[in-house]
Amino acid sequence: MRLDILIRGGTLLTETGPVRCDIGIRREKIAAAARGLKAPEAKVVDASGCFVLPGGVDAHTHLDMPFAGTTTADDFATGSLAAVCGGTTTIIDFATQDKGRPMMAALEAWRRKADGRCVADYGFHMAVVDLGGGRLKEMDRIAREGCPSFKFYMAYPGRLMLDDGAIFRAMLRCRENGSVVCVHAENGGIIDALIEKALAQGRTHPRWHALTRPAQAEAEAAHRAIALAELSGAALYVVHVSTSEAAAEIRRARERGLRVFGETCPQYLYLSDNAYESPGFEGAKFVIAPPLRPAGHQRALWSAVREDWLQVVSTDHCSFNFKAGRGASKQMGRGDFSRIPGGSPGIETRVALMWDAVERGDLSPARFVQLVCANPAKMFGLYPRKGCLAPGSDADIVVLVPSVKRVLSAKTHHMNVDYSPYEGRVVRGAVRDVLIRGRFALTGFKPVGNPPRGVFLERRGPCEW
């Protein structure tokens, strides 16, 4: 068999466990996976002493996202390059509908932002904010266009939130067209009332962001979303779960046999609400929604990802500079915590943080691959093209050097943002090489000068697993 590239001598990490195996690549695909492959004509990548894993799939990013007349700090060029440097080769971003406008207009706008600029391969969820005027029918076309997943906000009244009736009607439509329902589960009415009360009392410090978004508001919304999904028969995916109570709601639903799935993010596994007590205005760096929680929730979430209550770890990458730079700044919220742009950078650090959990014994290598590669690909209709190392799969491959210690820092990351929420944290493991569909995007720990360009991924409905 003629091969273009041969990755030799490494240990493959799969969703079922490590395997000593070589990988042969022909054009854009994995052509062979076996021990002792020989291909004199191939470019050889020596992976001795390294782990070889599928390219990561980040199912929750916000690149070039409009905000308050400007945008996030990372566009599709900078954000996707950072993703690749961190070992992620596929992203699924959110095309957000404008009120009163067709969903297709949003999808076309987001495709223009990404086409020709995104290094990673990419797809889109449709974030729906307006279902008036017979727009339910538009969902069928969006699904046919390769975007069979829709996000609905249960928070942000008057801006993004849909009421329960609209969400339920949309769930019925998703059940019919085979799409996945994604929900941001926080009770927006409760949160807005608490924000109004805090500001009226002169409480403006960033710590009040967390205090006005209590765990109960997330758990209640998750419970309600699950009830709506059960009634409609739709597949439900709860994004960025941050609390033990919301994770428990998902666990109970799954134990009853419902098609309910959950995602958490590294920030909820590694950071706590102590960050809001940082000196001065530094706590604004950690203003995200849902907010960081007390440390007890971290322990419950680690159990949840190990025991399959939660199936995916994504980033919710939504980068805003702390001081100045491209796009909106966290400084917009000085004197009013509710005006701090919500979101933090993480697209580059997800694989490193989750691999560090393997190094310290908190995750098995197989569970690591499930959480960051295979399960998101299965959830959103990309498996086995993405998320696994098998003949016929896209040659999206990461070579990782284990146990090497490095320090996470804004000084060295590739994200277009002036801080890291993990500044100074030491992790073990480093991504040395990354291939996207058989082309090098990172080699010798450095991005190549002319990286490949990602392609738009037309997805189908969720795979069964």
Contact 240, 264 (CB under 8 A): yes
As a whole-number percent, the residues of the chain with pLDDT over 70 amount to 100
Q: How distant, in Å, are the alpha carbons of 47, 121, 376, 434 from that of 464?
A: 32, 23, 12, 28
Q: What is the pLDDT of residue 70?
A: 87
298: three-class secondary structure by DSSP? helix
Q: Taking 80 as the threshold, does the pLDDT of residue 214 lie above it?
A: yes
Sign of CA dihedral 371, 376, 377, 379: positive
Q: What is the pLDDT of residue 463?
A: 79
The string of pLDDT tens digits covering residues 83-119 is 999 999 999 999 999 999 999 999 999 999 999 999 9
Looking up tokens 């466990």 gives 17
The reported pTM is 0.97
Contact 149, 125 (CB under 8 A): yes
Q: What is the pLDDT of residue 68?
A: 81
Q: What is the pLDDT of residue 133?
A: 79
Q: What is the mean pLDDT of residues 34-62?
A: 97
Most distant CA pair in the chain: distance in Å?
74
pLDDT band of 462, cuts 50, 70, 90: confident
As a whole-number percent, the residues of the chain with pLDDT over 90 amount to 95
Q: What is the pLDDT of residue 324?
A: 80
The string of pLDDT tens digits covering residues 310-367 is 999 999 999 999 998 888 899 999 999 999 999 999 999 999 999 999 999 999 999 9
Distance CA 354, CA 9 (A): 24
Q: Taking 90 as the threshold, does the pLDDT of residue 465 lie above it?
A: no
Q: What is the pLDDT of residue 423?
A: 98
Contact 453, 436 (CB under 8 A): no
pLDDT band of 132, cuts 50, 70, 90: confident
Domain spans in the chain, listed from the N-terminal domain onward: 55-366
Distance CA 380, CA 59 (A): 8
The string of pLDDT tens digits covering residues 220-250 is 999 999 999 999 999 999 999 999 999 999 9
Residue 143 corresponds to which tokens in the numbers above?
A: 């699904």
Q: Taking 90 as the threshold, does the pLDDT of residue 298 lie above it?
A: yes
Residue 195, Ramachandran bin (φ over 0: left; ψ between -120 and 50: alpha; else beta): alpha
For residue 159, which of 184, 139, 133, 138 has the smallest C-alpha distance?
184
pLDDT band of 134, cuts 50, 70, 90: confident
For residue 395, which of 382, 386, 404 has the smallest C-alpha distance?
386
Q: What is the pLDDT of residue 330?
A: 97
Sign of CA dihedral 158, 163, 166, 171: positive
Contacts of 373 (CB under 8 A, 6+ apart): 15, 53, 54, 55, 56, 57, 386, 387, 388
Average pLDDT over the chain reads 97
Q: Taking 80 as the threshold, does the pLDDT of residue 45 lie above it?
A: yes
The string of pLDDT tens digits covering residues 419-449 is 999 999 999 999 999 999 999 999 999 999 9
For residue 160, which of 417, 342, 284 has the smallest C-alpha distance?
342
Q: What is the mean pLDDT of residues 51-67?
A: 97
Q: What fold characterizes domain 55-366?
A: TIM Barrel (3.20.20)
Contact 415, 319 (CB under 8 A): yes
Q: How distant, in Å, are the alpha carbons of 136, 297, 300, 394, 417 from that of 270?
A: 39, 10, 12, 32, 20
Sign of CA dihedral 385, 387, 393, 398: positive
For residue 148, which of 173, 187, 178 has the smallest C-alpha distance?
178
